[in-house]
Amino acid sequence: MKILLEDIRMSTKNRTEVVDVTANIEEIVRRSGITNGVCVVHTVHSTAAVIVNEHEAGLVKDIVKKVQQDFQRGAGWLHDRVDNNADAHLASSYIGPTRMFPVREGRLVRGPWQNIFLLELDGPRTRKIMVEIIGE
């Protein structure tokens, strides 16, 4: 059994933003030397999430718009009295901080339109994503 745990760090630029981290994760999978197993992608924040979808420029904007529509800022949330970002916490609670993939023959098992994104919900901030590969 082999286990590799590394982190990716990045700076986001906007309050709501979608950042493609597929290449970073695939590089870690390659470097792990793990042939078969599983890859867990986990961001350690409560105002961000990890999502998997197609990297098409229009769709990336649609995701940002949809999240802003569904999780409205300043809509009378109690948490906004402490920190003006309840909307970001709510979106992260629903969507979740983690996605995962099988690893086979040293590669992520993902569809051609399954890119991996950090979903920034309260940027700009410095963010960390843990990438763990377990297998053999």
For a copy of itself, the closer CB: 15 or 63: 63
Nearest approach, Cβ of 128 to a copy of itself (angstroms)?
A: 8
Residues whose CB is less than 8 angstroms from the CB of residue 131 and which lie 6 or more positions away in sequence, other chains included: 5, 6, 7, 8, 24, 25, 28, 29, 39, 40, 41, 42
Which stretches of the chain bind a copy of itself, using CB under 8 A?
1, 3, 5, 36-38, 40, 42, 44-46, 51-54, 56-59, 61-63, 66, 70-71, 77-83, 86, 89-90, 92-102, 104, 109-111, 113-114, 130, 132, 134-136
Beta bridge partners of 19: 118
> To the nearest whole angstrom, how small is the minimum distance from the Cβ of residue 27 to a copy of itself?
18
